Amino acid sequence: MSQTTRDHFLALDERDPLAPLRDQFTLPPGVIYLDGNSLGALPRATADRLGRAITDEWGTGLIRSWNDAGWVELPARVGAKIGRLLGAGPGEVVAADSTSINLFKVLAAALRLQEDRAPGRRVIVSQRGNFPTDLYIAQGLADLLGRGAAGGYTLRLVDGPDELPHAVDERTAVVLLTQVDYRTGALLAMAKTSALAHEKGALIIWDLAHSAGAIPLDLPGDGADFAIGCGYKYLNGGPGAPAFVWVASRHQEAFWQPLSGWFGHAAPFAFEPDYRPAPGIARYLCGTPAVLSMIALDSGLDTVLAAEARGGMPALRAKSIALTGAFIELVEARCQGHALSLVSPRDPALRGSQASFAAGPELARGYAVMQALIARGVIGDFRAPDVLRFGFTPLYTRFVDVWDAVEILSDILATRSWDAPRFHQRAAVT
Amino acid sequence: MSQTTRDHFLALDERDPLAPLRDQFTLPPGVIYLDGNSLGALPRATADRLGRAITDEWGTGLIRSWNDAGWVELPARVGAKIGRLLGAGPGEVVAADSTSINLFKVLAAALRLQEDRAPGRRVIVSQRGNFPTDLYIAQGLADLLGRGAAGGYTLRLVDGPDELPHAVDERTAVVLLTQVDYRTGALLAMAKTSALAHEKGALIIWDLAHSAGAIPLDLPGDGADFAIGCGYKYLNGGPGAPAFVWVASRHQEAFWQPLSGWFGHAAPFAFEPDYRPAPGIARYLCGTPAVLSMIALDSGLDTVLAAEARGGMPALRAKSIALTGAFIELVEARCQGHALSLVSPRDPALRGSQASFAAGPELARGYAVMQALIARGVIGDFRAPDVLRFGFTPLYTRFVDVWDAVEILSDILATRSWDAPRFHQRAAVT
C-alpha cells in the first residue's frame, strides 16, 4: 500500500458508491464494529417495524393478523428475499428455525435421496474445521439412523479441502461443507467443489452462514443440491434470527423431511391426522414460525437488498475484498514483530469477508488482545484457541474504520496494554 | 344460573381478586377476545421491553450482549419461569425452538430409552384427535427410524382416552397425548393416565400446549416422563413464541437427543469437533436461540407469574372454570334451537380453559357464524369441520365479557346475520 495515511482512507470512503448504505444502521458512537460476521448491526428501521408489528399486528390485530398482516406467508416471503441473494429461483427458499435444525432437515433428505438411488453409501464427508454445530448435527442424525441393522452412517472429516478429491468416493452419500470457514475465512469454490462431489455420485450441502449477504452466489448455477444459512450475520436479522433453507428444485419433492410439522403440511389448517407434505420448498417448514424474529429478519434483509441499486452483491464483494485486503496489509505493516500471523488466505478470491490472525504465545494466544481491543471500541471476536477474527460488512464498515482499527491494535501491541489482568478474564461467550 | 343479568356479571368482576391483572394487557377497544388459547394477548410491557432489547442490547451492546445482557442464559432463565407453572424442579425446563421441534427431541429420546431398556416396543400410541403437528412429527420420526432392518415404528391412534387401557400394551414404547384437546377442550387426568402408561411399561409424553398457564400442573408428582408446550397461547409470548421442553430428572442424562446443535453442547464456545451433551436439560437446546422472540416470551411469562401473589394457578383455574361454565350455561339458555351443541365436557374437572360448540348444518357448520362474531368484535376461532371454539384466559377475560359475547352470539343467530356472503369466504388461516 503506497498511501498509508488516514486521509487516504477517508478519500476511499468519499469515493465509495456504497457509503450511503451505512445510514441504514444505528451504530454506537466510539465503536468500530468488526463482528458483523457474528451478529449483524441493528438496522435503523427495525425497532420501529417491530414496534408496529407488536402494537398493531399483535396487540390490535391479535389472531386475525395471521391472515390480515400476512404472518402465515412470512416464511415464504422472507425466503424469497433471501433467495435473491443466493441466485435462487422463485419458491426455492424458506426462512425457518435455526441453521442447525435446517441442516438436520436437508441432511436427512439428502441421505434418504441417496438411499433410494444409491444404497450403500453410508459416509458423510465434512471438514474437521467446519463450524461445530454442523458436525454435531451430522453426528446426531448418524447416531439416530445408525441403530438399524442396515448399518450406521459415519462422519469422515478431512483437515482441508485439498483432501476432498481423495476422501469423496463411491461410499460417500453426502458432502457437507461450509463455504466460508468461520475461523480462517477461507472461501471454497462452490462450482468446482460441487462438481467434485457429483463426479463421485455424492450430493452436496452448503452451509452459507458466512456467505449469504457477503459473497455473490448462484446456487443453481454452481450445482449445489441443498443449502442452509444464518439470518443474524450478514443478513442483519438480529440475535438468533431465523435461518433459511434452500433445496434445488430437482430434489424438492423427492422426499418429505422428517421434521414434518404442521407448517410443512399441504393443508395446515385442515387439521388432517395424516401428514401430506406441502408442494415445493414449503415442506421444509416445521412448527409455527417465530413471527417477531421473522419480521426483524425481513427488515434486516431490506438493508442488504438496498445494495441492488448500487451494484448489488458484486459491488458489496468488491468493497469487502478492498476492506479485508487493506486491513491485512496495514496489520502486517504496522504490527510487525508482534506474533500475529495471517490465517486467512492472502488471495482475495479465496477469502470471505473477514481477516483472521493467529496470535502466538508472546500474545498469550490472543484472547486478552481481543478484550483490550473491545475495551478501546474495536469489536472483533476471538475463536479458540488463538484466532483474532475481524469481520468486514461492506454495508456499514468504512475504509477509515480499517485505518482506525489498526491504529488502535498497533498501539495496544506496542504498549502491551492488553496484558492487564482484567483482559484475561474469560467470559461465557468468547 | 339464577342471575341472568349483565349486572350480575359486572358484580362478579368487582369481586374477582384476579381482575386487576387485566391491566397488564393492551386489548383493542370493542373487542372481546376469546382466542387467547390460540394467541395470547399483548402484554403492556412487551413493546417497551423488546424496544429496549433492540435499541440497547442489540443496537449498542451488539455482540457483547451475549454476555452482558445475558442472552446466552435466556433459554434456561425463561425455562425456569415456565417451570414454576409446571411444578417442575430447578433445571428441568428450557425454552427453545417450536413445539413440533421439541416433540421430535423428546420422542426420539423416549424411543431410545425404551430401545435400551425394553427392545421390541415399536408402537407409539396417540389420539386421532391429537393436534395434528404431534401426529405429523411422530410419523416423520417413525418414517426416519423405520428404514432400518430392525423394523419400523408404527403410530397407533385411538379415538378417545377410553380406549387407552386396551391400546397401551407390551408393544407400546411411548404414549403421546395432549392434555387438553385443542378442539373440544377435554382435559386428561395426568396422574391416572401416566400411571396407566407406566403399568404397561410405556413412557408418556405430554403436550401441554393448552395446559401451561391454564391448568395447575405437577409434572413430577403426576409421573410424567417428558413434556413439551407452547409459548404463544396462555404464556402470552407473542406469535410464534419459542416453545418449551421438560424432561424428568431421571431421564435427562440417559440420552442425548438427536437435534444435537451447539447450544446443547457441554462447551459450546470451545468449538470442539465432537458433540458432548451438556449436563441436564441444556442438552435439549439445539441452535442459536431466537433472542428477540425469547425476550417477548419472558415478558409474557411475567404476566402469568404475577398471579402468584393472587392465588397463582389454582386461582386462575377456578376463574377459568367459572368463566367457561357461565359461558356454556348462557349459550345453552339463550341460543336454544340454533343447532349449537356443546362438544366440551360439561364436568369442569374434565374441561380445559375453553368451551367449544359444534354447529349443525342449519348453521352451515359454523364457519360463517364465527366470521360474523369476529365482525362484531367477539374473537373466537373455528376448527374444521364444525367447531366454534372459545378460549377463556382468566388473566384478562372478564365475566362481563362472557355476558356480552353471548348477547352478540344470540343476536347473530336470531337475526341470521351470519348468513351473508362475506362471512362465508374462507381465509388462509381459519
Nearest to B290 among A58, A240, A429 (CB): A240
Residues of A acting as catalytic residues: 131, 207, 232-233, 389
- On the question of pLDDT at A149 being above 50, the answer is no
Percent pLDDT > 90 in chain B is 92
Average pLDDT over residues B216-234: 98
SS3 call for B170: coil
Phi-psi region of A360 (alpha: psi -120 to 50; beta: other; left: phi over 0): beta
- On the question of pLDDT at B200 being above 90, the answer is yes
Exposure string (b/e) for B84-113, b if CB count within 10 Å is 16 or more? Answer: bbbbbeebbbbbbbbbbbbbbbbbbbbbbb
Task: Give pLDDT tens digits for A86-115.
Answer: 999 889 999 999 999 999 999 999 999 999
B 69-88 residues with CB < 8 A to A = 71-72
Query: Is B58 close to A238, i.e. CB distance below 8 A?
Result: yes
Average pLDDT over residues A314-342: 97
Nearest to A141 among B50, B232, B258 (CB): B258
B26: which chain A residues are within 8 Å (Cβ-Cβ)?
55, 59
Average pLDDT over residues B96-104: 98
pTM of the model: 0.97
Task: Give pLDDT tens digits for B247-306.
Answer: 999 999 888 899 999 999 999 998 999 999 999 999 999 999 999 999 999 999 999 999
**Cα distances (angstroms) measured from residue A415 to each of A245, A411, A418, A419:** 47, 6, 8, 9
Q: How far is the C-alpha of B278 from the C-alpha of B399, rounded, in Å?
A: 47
pLDDT band at B3 (very low <50, low <70, confident <90, very high): low
Task: Give pLDDT tens digits for A207-229.
Answer: 999 999 999 999 999 999 999 99
Name the nearest CA neighbour of A302 among A132, A154, A76, A82: A82
Average pLDDT over residues A252-267: 92
Nearest to A261 among B136, B259, B271 (CB): B136
- On the question of pLDDT at B112 being above 60, the answer is yes
- On the question of pLDDT at A254 being above 90, the answer is no
SS3 call for A240: coil
Sign of CA dihedral B294, B299, B304, B308: positive
Residues of B acting as catalytic residues: 131, 207, 232-233, 389
Q: What is the dihedral of CA A131, A135, A141, A144, to 10 degrees?
A: -140
pLDDT band at B122 (very low <50, low <70, confident <90, very high): very high
Is residue A265 within 8 A of residue A256, CB to CB? The reply is no
Nearest to B98 among A26, A46, A261 (CB): A261
Q: What does DSSP assign to residue B57? A: I
Would an 8 Å CB–CB cutoff place B62 in contact with chain A? yes
Is residue B382 within 8 A of residue B35, CB to CB? The reply is no
What are the residues whose beta carbons fall under 8 Å from the beta carbon of B256, sequence distance 6 or more?
A140, B264, B275, B277, B283
Average pLDDT over residues B183-189: 97
Count contacts between A and B (CB, < 8 Å).
308
What are the residues whose beta carbons fall under 8 Å from the beta carbon of B139, sequence distance 6 or more?
A260, A274, A275, B155
A 226-265 residues with CB < 8 A to B = 232, 238-243, 256-265
For residue B32, the chain A residue with the least C-alpha distance is A62
Q: What is the pLDDT at residue B149?
A: 42
Q: What single-letter amino acid sits at B82?
A: I
What are the residues whose beta carbons fall under 8 Å from the beta carbon of A163, sequence distance 6 or more?
none
Task: Give pLDDT tens digits for B176-185.
Answer: 999 999 999 9
Task: Give pLDDT tens digits for B34-51.
Answer: 999 999 999 999 999 999
Average pLDDT over residues A353-371: 97
Would an 8 Å CB–CB cutoff place B269 in contact with chain A? yes
B379: enclosing H helix or E strand: strand B378-379
For residue A151, the chain B residue with the least C-alpha distance is B148
Report H helices in A200-335: 249-252, 291-305, 312-334
A347: number of CA atoms within 13 Å, CB side? 6
Would an 8 Å CB–CB cutoff place B154 in contact with chain A? no
Q: How far is the C-alpha of B301 from the C-alpha of B87, rounded, in Å?
A: 15
Query: What is the pairing mode between strands A42-43 and A25-26?
Result: antiparallel
Q: What is the pLDDT at residue B146?
A: 78
Q: What average pLDDT does the structure give for chain B? A: 96
Average pLDDT over residues A397-401: 98
Q: How far is the C-alpha of B384 from the C-alpha of B367, rounded, in Å?
A: 8
Would an 8 Å CB–CB cutoff place B294 in contact with chain A? yes
**Cα distances (angstroms) measured from residue B224 to each of A140, B206, B281, B389:** 25, 7, 15, 28
Q: What is the pLDDT at residue B283?
A: 97
Would an 8 Å CB–CB cutoff place B166 in contact with chain A? no
pLDDT band at B90 (very low <50, low <70, confident <90, very high): confident
Percent pLDDT > 70 in chain A is 98
Residue listed under C-alpha cell 397401551: B168
